Structure formats: structure tokens, C-alpha cells
Amino acid sequence: MKEGEETVGLEKILDKAVKRGASYADVRFQSYDSELVSVENKVLEGYSSRKLSGFGIRVFLNGAVGFASSSDLSPTNVEKTLDNAVKAAKAVKNGESSLVDVKISKANVKSNVKIDPFDVSSEEKVSIALDTNKAAWINDKIKSASTRLGITRDYRWFGSSEGSRTTVQTTMVGLMHTSVAQTGGVMEWVPHSESMCAGFEFIKSKDWNSFSHSVSELALEAVSSKSPPPGTYPVVVDPEIVGVLLHEAFGHASEGDLVSSGESVLNNRTGSRLASEDVTIVDEGVVERGYYCPFDDEGVRKEKTVIVEKGVLKGFIYDRESASKLGGKATGNGRAQDFENLPIVRQTNYVMQPSTCQFEELIEDIDSGVYVRGRGSTGGEVEVGMGTFTFGVGPSKIIRKGELAETVRGVVISGSILDTLKTVDAVGKDLVVKTGVFGGCGKSGQRASVGFGGPHIRVRKMTVGGR
């Protein structure tokens, strides 16, 4: 199908929606392609490819939001889908939804791609994944190794009854490797991945054999180490964990829909000091090594939104609906997993800005603490209402008398969002930003690709669990 061809019928349906009484309507068309090569224990376990394509219609009718989606683009079905959306909106009683005004956008943009990964031969993709996997078997304590090479291309067309028309195409490639090591009765696994919004040139630019080799080394180091005694410690957190921690523990609480519903602990705290002067946090649509997100799924340009400036809460991120509720400005954060979902407030690239400290300065006056590391981390979760977060981090290091000591495994950190921010007392000068082709962040049953990152930081007090 030629670009643009599929959206002709969708343009017309916008007019029809308005004729049927919609105060506002938008249509999103999406065409998503992905390929995944999976290797398990030196054998190609799966080679799969997916195409997902369809459209969703959103209508506002007397303050009620109705939505319907389908993957059948035939004219009669497009009409039927509009019917379903209108019917859904009519089912809502006492609708109070409205959208904040935005500038009309007209743009067609693409992430940078030098070598289209969908043009690269299947043989080449399979052999890179196989070789990477084979390089992980560094000794007989490695019991299992899994490698996945993933590529995705996400094309999104957006049209609104107000006149916005945007298309965004994001191509992403990445590789994930997991090694499982065993000694005695103990087993430990270390997953790690590298992804980038780029073409196949990113895959070609890296030595993946040494990548999987180093994952196995870490698994071996972890399996023969102990867990730290549970308790509360000063910790130094590496950029990868700062990124996810910030995203989960603070980012979600700054999402306009969670603020407007009163669910977030940041509700009514704008202008108050949450952290030390060193802490500045921004959400930005296009960042080097981050996820490419120049426009959201409401056709709003995503620029730089300052959330915390020098420790003070400055604002939140919004979609058009939550901005309307809270009297804010749409920040380009209305994002949907795919055409089957409505946009909700999502972060794009949520990053803590670097400051001035060297790594050595961060650890030098810690008598007994933990250096919490991201490689091998399993992710985290937060309960924004209770203000509690928890994270499974990778193999980490004990800090003893200002120096890094032995490795510890099975480390989980936990704390209260606001208390933890207050005890960030030093921020490093380095910066790492990451995104991922595998997984993404979940909220309300939707997943979204995001970018995150920051510098090394020191937190005076954090709960560390282990066994």
C-alpha cells in the first residue's frame, strides 16, 4: 500500500463524525511491523514477523468520550466503526470530558535510519543472533543462554476534525541477551539489552559477542555472591536505575491524569521543594539515544517539559484532557499503545539532568552502603497513591569505608517517592539515556516505548531487601 492511500477514507469519516454531532473527532491509523529472532541455547528457537494495522476513531459527544477501532479499512466498515464510537459515547452518562485548545499541527517526520532493518537479509539477522548466543557459553557454569534480536517500525497517521494532520514513523532495533549461571544449588540470571531508534547500522556498529560474553561474566559473578543483609542504607544509584526509578517512582506521579484524579502524591504540590538544588528533571520528545517521540497521538508537538527545576516542582505532563481538567497546557504526552487504545498521559524521555559530582565523590564518605546497578535489573513498580516504589536491580556492590567492595545479588530497593527524593544529596556529572525495543512501560493495560536516564546519584536513605 502506498503511503497515504489508506487514509483517504479516514479523512472523510472525520467530517461525518462532526455531522453526527461530535464536538470533536480524531482518527488514528497505524501500521506496525516487527521481526523477532530468538535463539535459545545455541539453537534458533523462533523467527517471527508481525504486521499490525488498523484505525481507531475517537469522538466527543456532549462531554462523553466514545471510541471504536477495527483493522478492516473497507468503507462500509469504517462507517460501522464510527457508529460504534458514537454508540459508545452515548452510553456514557453525564460526560464531563473536554480538551484543552492546541495549535494545529501539520507535519510528516521520521526517525533517522541509514540501513532499513527490514531490507537486511534474514540470513544476516539470524546469524548475528546465533553468534551472539554462542559467545555467551564461556564456561560450564553457564546453564542457559537466550538471545533476541528485535526490529520494529511504527507508522502513525493522525487526523483531527480541527485540522491537524501528522505522521510519525519510528524505527527501532535492539538486542537482548540473558545468561543463566549455576554453581552448587544456586541459579542466577542476568538479562541485559541495548536498543536504539535507528536502522540496522546500530546493530552493525556493536560487538555483540563481547556484549553476551560480559553478560555471562556478570551472571557468574552474581551466582557466587550473597545477598546484602536487609536494612536501610545510603546508596549510590547508577544512571540506568536512576532512569527507571525516576520513570516509575516519580514520572508516573507527575502524569496529569493521575494528578487530576487526585491519585498522585504530587497533587497540589506545584511550587514546593521536593529535592535538593541539584535535582532537575525534564521530559523531552527527542533526545539522543532516547525514544523518538516528536508528536503525540493527539497531534501535539512534544517539546521539553520541565518537571522539577533545582529541586522545586514546576509542572506536570499532560494530554489534552487532563490539561483541560487541571488548567494546564497540553505538553504532547497523550500517547496510545496502538490504534486499539485511547491516548493516555505517558512519559516520553524522562531524564534527570547531570550536575557536578565525580563518581568517587559520591562514594567517598559512605561508611557502609550499596552501589545499586542497573545491568541485569528486572524492572520496578510503583503505587502512586500510597507513594511506595520497589525495584529489582542487577548485581550490585557493597560500599565499605568509601570504596567499592564485594558483589551482592538479588537486591531489591524500596522506598517512599517523596522521602527518597528529599534524601538525594548529590548528583553526578555523567549522563546515560536508554530506550528499549523489548517491552516498554505498562499503565492501564497499555504499553508504551519510552526513554529514560540520568546521572549517578547518591541517596542518603533507602530500604534494601535481599534474602
User: Among residue numbers 287 through 346, which ones bind another protein (CB under 8 A)?
Assistant: 340-342
How far apart are CB 415 and another protein at their closest, in Å?
A: 7
Size of the site for another protein (CB under 8 A): 89
Report the residue number, 423 or 463, with the smaller CB distance to another protein.
463
Q: Which of 391, 396, 426, 427 binds another protein (CB under 8 A)?
A: 391
How far apart are CB 247 and another protein at their closest, in Å?
A: 14
How far apart are CB 305 and another protein at their closest, in Å?
A: 23
Rounded CA-CA distance 452/431 in Å is 11
Residue with cell 529535592: 275
Burial 453-467 (b: 16+ CB within 10 A, else e): bbbbbbbbebbbebe
Q: Which of 244, 265, 351, 352 binds another protein (CB under 8 A)?
A: 265
Report the residue number, 169 or 390, with the smaller CB distance to another protein.
390
Q: Which residues contact 21 (CB under 8 A, 6 or more apart)?
A: 61, 62, 86
Element (H, E) at 80: helix 75-91
- Count the Cβ atoms, other than its own, within 10 Å of residue 222: 23
Q: Restricting to residues 116-155, which ones interact with another protein according to CB under 8 A?
A: 121-123, 126, 130, 143-144, 146
Binding status of residue 367 toward another protein by CB under 8 A: no
Q: Which of 23, 53, 98, 270 binds another protein (CB under 8 A)?
A: 53
Q: Restricting to residues 152-211, which ones interact with another protein according to CB under 8 A?
A: 180, 186-189
Q: Which of 16, 20, 23, 44 binds another protein (CB under 8 A)?
A: 44
CA nearest to 267, candidates 220, 210, 328: 328
Strands 368-372 vs 388-392: parallel, antiparallel or unpaired: unpaired
Residues in the chain: 467
Strands 165-183 vs 186-196: parallel, antiparallel or unpaired: antiparallel
Cα 386 from chain centre: 22
Q: Restricting to residues 224-243, which ones interact with another protein according to CB under 8 A?
A: 227, 230-232
Q: Restricting to residues 418-447, which ones interact with another protein according to CB under 8 A?
A: 444-445
Q: Which of 11, 15, 72, 303 binds another protein (CB under 8 A)?
A: 72
First to last CA, the chain: 56
Q: Which of 7, 14, 17, 54 binds another protein (CB under 8 A)?
A: 54
Q: Considering only the stretches 9-17, 42-50, 163-171, 426-434, report the one whose residues sit in contact with another protein under the rule CB under 8 A.
A: 42-50
Q: Which amino acid is at 384?
A: V
CA nearest to 247, candidates 417, 456, 371: 417
How far apart are CB 17 and another protein at their closest, in Å?
A: 15
How far apart are CB 237 and another protein at their closest, in Å?
A: 16
Q: Which residues contact 114 (CB under 8 A, 6 or more apart)?
A: 198, 199, 200, 201
DSSP string, 369-383: EEEE--TT--EEEEE
Q: Considering only the stretches 12-20, 235-243, 306-314, 390-398, report the one whose residues sit in contact with another protein under the rule CB under 8 A.
A: 390-398
Q: Restricting to residues 242-261, which ones interact with another protein according to CB under 8 A?
A: 258, 261
Q: Which of 224, 270, 388, 407 binds another protein (CB under 8 A)?
A: 388
Q: Considering only the stretches 106-114, 297-305, 350-358, 405-413, report the one whose residues sit in contact with another protein under the rule CB under 8 A.
A: 405-413
